[in-house]
Structure 1
């Protein structure tokens, strides 16, 4: 399954945004070259493993996402700010529940056909009237009948890192050579979120009326989260059920859900809110398991922070002495 890599827009987050994450850890580092720190952090993220495989794919590089100001020769101090993000492969977490009308389109057709038979029966023919009444009663039952069905939900772990601090030039003597380098005192925050979405890869396996209902529900969730000018049109009445027979394409529903979730993915805050909506559809046991997974995500952040502590102690402080 494809990853939803954090977009470049997401790499504009600030400290307060990361403090609102599901889990976060902070660390302070002294006397380290920020470029070397960034490269080491990127490598450490990419080496995190899960089930015997590398878990994360990173977004960000030091050329575009690590800014060092006032680094010109003669400037003794400056500011540093860097961002780095990583996302995991989607992983199934369980099934949500959805109330829908499994025979809504069938009932709509029966109601229309029943009305036609009843109309022609007005000329005095008893059989068309009886058939029409039977179709109207049966169609009404099918149209309004509701059931509860399950749909798959998947999880994607996302880590975002923000580095901020001060840099200064220092003269380093190394093997009888003297050179000028920069070192930073930085505060780093590591934030982790487990984000949910509906996997469109399973749409071919779903009954078409359930797939249609889920697509409509995703539209409703989408409209709850976006501003009014960006909302999509939702057709879910009698005429919509009747016309649904003309388009039962799994590809069309897949493209719709993929586009809506893709738009939400472009804004991290919206994606978190979408996760909250999906989490409410999960049974209590699955929500508890998701909470346990978030604790494991916190362990990952703490291990990452500790690993960078070791790196700075080894590479930073020794070189500053």
Structure 2
């Protein structure tokens, strides 16, 4: 890439695709175009992370453009586009394929190596774990030294020396725990992260080159991104389930309040009917009393006229 191309890419990354002015929409590719790699927008496309490694996947079939990433980052501040869902699916498929390769490699090694006891296997795993710590810390110490952080680098190198002593002791125990006839067959292990073959007695330089190398660190980055996406998706599901549960509770409360209001109205109507019945009975009794009183007066007048005759 020429200097002009590098400057152009930096401007695209900082200012987006419209840095040279507004482009006609029909001529412009937007970040939400299906042809754009959503994993690239989130900075986790395996094609970029593992470029120029033994696991190089070649060019991604979808569009990678730093300007589109800048556009997406600006848009993501206003709205969640849920691109991590698509990216998680892509990374999960990639990691599943890698894990299958790891299992196949383990199976091949098992076929060429004699079966060992649990104690010997445990010691071999300890050596492998110590080797990983040595390689990781040694690579980190070199990085700190290159940055001028000498004291931190020296502190890590001291830890590396202690780990090397422990590893040497474990190697002696491992050698004594397995038959001499199969010792040479037990040297290889499969890296659980990137599926590379590691020698159980690899020197420090080899371990540092592996555990601090682009391939191993790239797989760590991809796996970490996948874990982060999975965690975010889980939190989203929990929030969605909580919101759904809250809506159910709200509907239940509304129905309960509606039933309560209906019951209250029914009670009011019932009381109103009762009052109406009581009033009706009271009026009926009053009319009956008046009628009886009137009849009584009539009879009294009738008797009075009869007596006067």
Question: Which has more strand, going by share of residues?
Answer: 1
Normalising by structure 2, we get a TM-score of: 0.22
Q: Relative contact order (alpha carbons < 8 A, sep ≥ 6): 1 or 2 greater?
A: 1
Higher gyration radius (CA): 2
Normalising by structure 1, we get a TM-score of: 0.21
